[in-house]
Chain A
Amino acid sequence: MLYIQILLNGLMLGGLYACIAVGFSLVWGVLNVINIMHGSFVVLGSYVAYFAYVHLGVHPFASIVLAGGVLFALGYLLQIGLINRVVGAPVLTTLVLTFGLDLLLNNGMLLAFSADYRTVRLESPFGSAIVGGLVIPLSRLYAMLLAAALTGLLYVVLIRSRMGRAIVAVRMDREAAALMGVNVNRVYALTFGIGALMAGAAGSLLSLIFPISPLASTDFLGIAFVVCVLGGLGSIAGAMVGGLALGVIQSFGALFIGPQHGLTIAFALLILLLIFKPTGIMGRSGYE
């Protein structure tokens, strides 16, 4: 029974992890850029949800739209204004650039919001349900379901919409897509915007579950790293599988080794995977 409970906890956590990582994976796959800012984007999304709740009384689940919108605009502008100029440069250039931007963004958040940990306390908390002896914290369950729905929505957008098809086309072959009349720079900006949007949405879901602080951004970035490498780069299914796998592994790791080592387990796993199977569980693919 204990193991089933832990499995369940892991899956609920994993759904959120997948939502954190899917935007990161999309940007990495399509732009070949590792966005070090991703963790700060998630935190910024949490702050949007927090302040929307405290000042306007907007429920964090409804803030997904708000946080997503704010982050999409930020991401789109950053890509159009700065990152597009170096998108074809060596790996080191884009890495160092996003690292520099992250220092700026994170320092800005520290100054504006301070390093104190804040939490959203709902006036009517969801509580937990007990089903057949299993305790299910409802806020986590709902957040996980919403995260899964969002990830599914992104999948549909990529497969069905014109914009999604353009993104996939650019991912497969940039030159060929450009020859077919796709505006590659605009697609890059949209992709980066969507990556930021997913981070912001994940942030507002997480604001109910994890304490919010600019200091948490590296944890989220680390999770995104591990999920991408674990699941394999370049597909939404990969991010889902990677996220769920990481959630379950961390939950069991917390049971057997201790909860304070959650991220260490993830990082050790990451190094082992990179050494032995760098393509991840699902292999590399292109959002077909």
Chain B
Amino acid sequence: MIRILISIIVVAAIAMLPLLGDNYLLRLGTMFAMYCVLALSWNVIGGYAGYPSFSTAAFFGLGAYTGAILQGAGVPMFAAWIAACLSAGLFAVLLGMAILHLKGHYFAIASLVVAEVLVEIATSWTSLTGGGMGINLPVLRISVAAQAQLFFYAMLAAAVLAFIMNWLVGASRIGFALQCIRQNEDASSMVGINTTRYKVIAFTLSSLFVGGAGAIYASWVFYIEPPDVFSILLSVKPIVMVLLGGAGTIFGPVIGAFVFIVMEELVWRNFLSFHAAVLGVLIVALIFFLPNGILGVIRRRRAARSTEEGAAS
């Protein structure tokens, strides 16, 4: 109960952000919401099910291009966003059925390479996607400030939906089945869990809102090009965020996304040419010093304290 209350208060506080009237903070808030969508979505397949998916960039780019192409064809913006969710989801169902029988490194590589193939398709299919020149989106006929607010709330809505989705998965049979799969896939299939079905469900859930976020991003920045929206970093950053916060938890991805964006702004803005190197150092430090994420540390402290108290009494 208290967790629901905290969540509502946090969302409400973030939703007040436009009242400050600071455009820089609003842009940052939109990015934060986007990172939350990516991290929360990856958490379903990577955190609960333990499958090292690097497909986030593929879903994001696919959503961005679906949104951009549909809007270019005159489809209303909101409808284009929803279509982007569905196209990413459909793609994930098909891709999942094809590659989710792979394990470990093989799955990781297959999911990683998909984005590379999509980049090439987007670059070569000039008549549909504008090729390497990229694609421009129709300009909205509202003020710049109103646009900034619109996209902020859109991204925030996607983040809230992704958060609720995470919560529902974690509390349901699906989440239970996925955690069984993570611990021992053969054993779970022996006790009657349809592992293929649950893995495809998890993979699809991890794609829906990412596709939507891609389309919102495309509308927000007005211009997309293949290397931008299919960037491998879009696959890796959510993983880093989830590991940072705590994998397989409900709040971990959000905490991770927050810490990540603060670091991104504070450190990387000042060291532009070291951008990638700083991310590299962060990753290495994370693996060695925070292997269970921030929530893992907090939990261990709490557990240690309760055993101390138990010993004292």
Give the interface of A toward B (CB within 8 A): 28, 32, 34, 82, 85-86, 89-93, 95-97, 99-108, 110-111, 222, 225, 229, 261, 263-264, 267-268, 270-271, 274-275, 278
How many angstroms from the CA of A106 to the CA of B236 in the assembled complex?
Answer: 16
B52 adjacent to A92 (CB under 8 Å)? yes
Pick the residue among A85, A100, A107 that contacts B283 (CB under 8 A): A100
How many angstroms from the CA of A95 to the CA of B54 in the assembled complex?
Answer: 11
A-B contact pairs, 28 of them (CB 8 A): A90-B52, A91-B105, A92-B52, A92-B108, A92-B239, A95-B108, A96-B236, A96-B283, A96-B287, A97-B283, A97-B287, A100-B281, A100-B283, A100-B287, A101-B284, A104-B281, A104-B284, A111-B274, A229-B106, A263-B116, A264-B117, A267-B116, A267-B117, A270-B110, A270-B113, A271-B99, A271-B113, A274-B106
A274 adjacent to B120 (CB under 8 Å)? no
B280 adjacent to A90 (CB under 8 Å)? no
Pick the residue among A100, A270, A278 that contacts B284 (CB under 8 A): A100
Q: What residue in chain A is nearest B274 (Cβ atoms)? A: A107
B110 adjacent to A107 (CB under 8 Å)? no
User: Whole-angstrom distance from the CB of A80 to the nearest CB of chain B?
Assistant: 14
Which residues from chain B contact A274 at a C-beta distance below 8 Å?
99, 102, 106, 109-110
Q: How many residues of B contact A (CB 8 A)?
A: 37
Chain A CB within 8 A of B50 CB: yes
Which residues from chain A contact B46 at a C-beta distance below 8 Å?
92
Chain A CB within 8 A of B34 CB: no
Which residues from chain B contact A103 at a C-beta distance below 8 Å?
276-277, 279-280, 283
Chain B contacts with A in 261-313, Cβ cutoff 8 A: 273-277, 279-284, 286-288, 291
Contact with A along B15-34 (1 / 0, CB 8 A): 00000000000000000000
Which residues from chain B contact A111 at a C-beta distance below 8 Å?
273-274
B108 adjacent to A101 (CB under 8 Å)? no
A104 adjacent to B280 (CB under 8 Å)? yes
User: Whole-angstrom distance from the CB of B243 to the nearest CB of chain A?
Assistant: 7
Known contacts A93-B291, A271-B114; is-contact A100 B282 (Cβ 8 Å): yes
Chain B contacts with A in 238-268, Cβ cutoff 8 A: 239-240, 243
Which residues from chain A contact B104 at a C-beta distance below 8 Å?
32, 91
B239 adjacent to A102 (CB under 8 Å)? no
Which residues from chain B contact A264 at a C-beta distance below 8 Å?
116-117, 120, 124
B116 adjacent to A222 (CB under 8 Å)? yes
User: Whole-angstrom distance from the CB of A39 to the nearest CB of chain B?
Assistant: 12
B117 adjacent to A102 (CB under 8 Å)? no
B276 adjacent to A34 (CB under 8 Å)? no
User: Whole-angstrom distance from the CB of B28 to the nearest CB of chain A?
Assistant: 23
Known contacts A103-B277, A271-B110; is-contact A82 B99 (Cβ 8 Å): no
Pick the residue among B50, B105, B284 that contacts A28 (CB under 8 A): B105
B50 adjacent to A278 (CB under 8 Å)? no
Q: What residue in chain B is nearest A265 (Cβ atoms)? A: B120
Q: What residue in chain B is nearest A102 (Cβ atoms)? A: B280
A91 adjacent to B283 (CB under 8 Å)? no
Which residues from chain B contact A93 at a C-beta distance below 8 Å?
287, 291
